[in-house]
Amino acid sequence: MEKINLNPQVSVSRIVQGLWRLTDWNWTVTQTIEFIEQCIALGVTTFDTAEIYGNYACEDRIGEVLKAAPHLRDQIEIVTKTGINMFSDKRAYTMSHYDTRKHKVVLSCQESIKRMNCDVIDLFLIHREDPLIDHQQLGKTLDELVDAGWVKAVGVSNFDPMKFDALQSHMRHRLVVNQIDWSPVCFEHFQNGNMDYLQKMNVVPMIWSPLAGGRLFTSSEEKYIKARKKIDEIAHRYGVDSETIVFAWLLYHPVKALPISGSSKIKRLKLAVDALNVALTHQEWYEIYTASGQQRLR
Ligand SMILES: NC(=O)c1ccc[n+]([C@@H]2O[C@H](COP(=O)([O-])OP(=O)(O)OC[C@H]3O[C@@H](n4cnc5c(N)ncnc54)[C@H](OP(=O)(O)O)[C@@H]3O)[C@@H](O)[C@H]2O)c1
């Protein structure tokens, strides 16, 4: 499996496993350990979570795994996120809102490390754009977390180029990742300039919901049907599964995307890994780009 160096301290696998839905899978600790071991055997060593996933319980599940199988810690990279105070029976907030102030980010980082029994976070992200962001304060806070050794690398998620630039301009350490939404039916980051900006800054995007949360294969909405038809056609041409073609399409782009598979099934993660051996043609990339009807070539 190809590894991407984010900085001298952290390398991540080109295909990442997402754990957003982990608590829905209702696995025992043993089943979760088996799943993580199977991911590692495929070369997928990087796992994505967030403070709020699973109604604040996902990081606890990871902590149970690392307590029962501490040898796994050195074999994996943990990505987690902060910056959202989510309405929940587990917290006192009466509405969900963002919070990227120093005390929230520092406390959240320390609590995530404690919950996950992991000593250090490999990559710590600000989960969403915060309209109340204080770039100077947050930049200094993220720098201090790296300097203090709580985290090995920092980045953001769902930031447009302007917000990324504003935060980075107040930092000594580099923001190494922007985690963004991209699939054959989602083109927000082509429209807001991120695909160009990230290449300019030599920052890799991690891609969430690469299969549009499964809707690419299940939805009866027109844009999904049109995209699916083209993807199935190309998959047939290569004699591979349609999921593999979607991941090959994401990997083809020079921005060097790191897709995050969200499936609970190892056989589906394998279909994503298989994409590393599929070379689409330039024209096929455009066939999928335009298939849903949302992107037109001028
Ligand atoms: N930064 C952010 O704001 C943000 C937002 C959302 C997600 N994320 C991260 O990105 C990760 C991936 O997102 P995602 O889970 O939405 O990814 P995804 O891979 O697009 O979707 C995964 C879902 O699709 C289903 N699926 C996959 N192939 C299918 C098929 N052929 N037919 C029907 N269903 C299929 C899976 O079900 P099975 O389990 O049955 O295979 C699973 O429920 C998350 O785990 C999380 O770590 C980040």
**pTM of the prediction?**
0.97
Atom of ligand 1 nearest to the CA of 212: 20
CATH number at residue 68: 3.20.20.100
232 within a domain of the structure (yes/no)? no
Phi-psi map region of 91: left, alpha, beta (phi>0 left; psi -120 to 50 alpha): beta
- What would the mean pLDDT of 75-93 be, rounded to a whole number? 94
pLDDT at position 30: 98
251 within a domain of the structure (yes/no)? no
Q: Token digits for 265?
A: 């099934």
In this prediction, residue 73 has a pLDDT band, given cuts at 50, 70 and 90, of: very high
Q: Does residue 298 register a pLDDT over 90? A: no
- What would the mean pLDDT of 136-163 be, rounded to a whole number? 98
215 within a domain of the structure (yes/no)? no
The CA 133 to ligand 1 mean position distance, Å, reads 28
Q: Residue 219 gets which letter from DSSP?
A: -
- Is residue 167 within 8 A of residue 139, CB to CB? The reply is yes
Give the strand pairing for 258-261 and 16-18: parallel
Nearest C-alpha to atom 48 of ligand 1 is from which residue?
208
Would you name the residues annotated as active-site residues?
A: 53
The CA 74 to ligand 1 mean position distance, Å, reads 26
76 within a domain of the structure (yes/no)? yes
272 within a domain of the structure (yes/no)? no
| Ligand 1 pocket, residue 130 CB under 6 Å | no
Q: 229-263 as b/e, with b when 16 or more CB fall inside 10 Å? A: ebbeebbeeeebbbbbbbbbbbbbbebebbbbbbb
State how many domains the chain has: 1
13 within a domain of the structure (yes/no)? yes
Q: How far apart are CA 266 and CA 282, in angstroms?
A: 29
67 within a domain of the structure (yes/no)? yes
| pLDDT tens figures, 205-258 | 999 999 999 999 999 999 999 999 999 999 999 999 999 999 999 999 999 999
CB atoms closer than 10 angstroms to residue 225: 13
Q: How far apart are CA 86 and CA 93, in angstroms?
A: 7
190 within a domain of the structure (yes/no)? no
Q: Does residue 92 register a pLDDT over 90? A: no
In which domain, by residue range, is 62 found?
3-181
- Is residue 125 within 8 A of residue 91, CB to CB? The reply is no
